[in-house]
Amino acid sequence: MPPAPGGKQRTLSIVKPDGVKKGVIGEVIRRFEKEGIRIAAMKMLHLTRRQAEGFYDVHRQRPFFASLTEFMSSGPIVVMVLEGDDVIARNRTIMGATDPKKADAGTLRAEFAGNIEQNIVHGSDAPETAATEIRYFFSDMEITS
């Protein structure tokens, strides 16, 4: 039988420093579990500036790169590997639009994000970026199946 559209995927989720400071780690995880998304790996890290720059390398030329990487290295984050059917798109739906003012009601960003930069969560946007981002934080041995 052919796989379902989207099929079983993995994606990288991050509770950003503002999310950790606001105490919404549990709320983020609860939404994933409620949707039947499996958490295959999880850890807390405090990125150095250099590590944050490496993660957001694709945004190096953007005007907000310095501010974004300062923010991302300003406190602990929680990184997770999520697994499930079509989980890349489903996680993006749970997160809401990058700018919380444009995010649909009920999404994590609409409910908890302060502004377009400090927007609580990160989620990979495509299979290729998901694979690269997961590899940035996790070895194969750290991901459960």
Q: How far is the CB of 117 from ligand GDP (least distance, A)?
A: 4
Cβ contact 91:82 at 8 Å: yes
Q: What is the amino acid identity at position 117?
A: E
Q: How far is the CB of 131 from ligand GDP (least distance, A)?
A: 16
- The Cα 145–Cα 140 span in angstroms is 10
Contact status: 64 vs ligand GDP (CB under 6 A) = yes
Q: How many CB atoms lie under 10 A from the CB of residue 124?
A: 24
- Would you say 31 or 122 has its CB closer to ligand GDP? 122
Helix (H, G, I), strand (E, B) or coil at 124: coil
Q: Write each residue from 122 to 141 as x if it is in contact with ligand GDP (CB under 6 A), else as -, in one continuous string.
A: x--x----------------
Site residues (CB under 6 A) for ligand GDP? 64, 67-68, 98, 116-117, 119, 122, 125
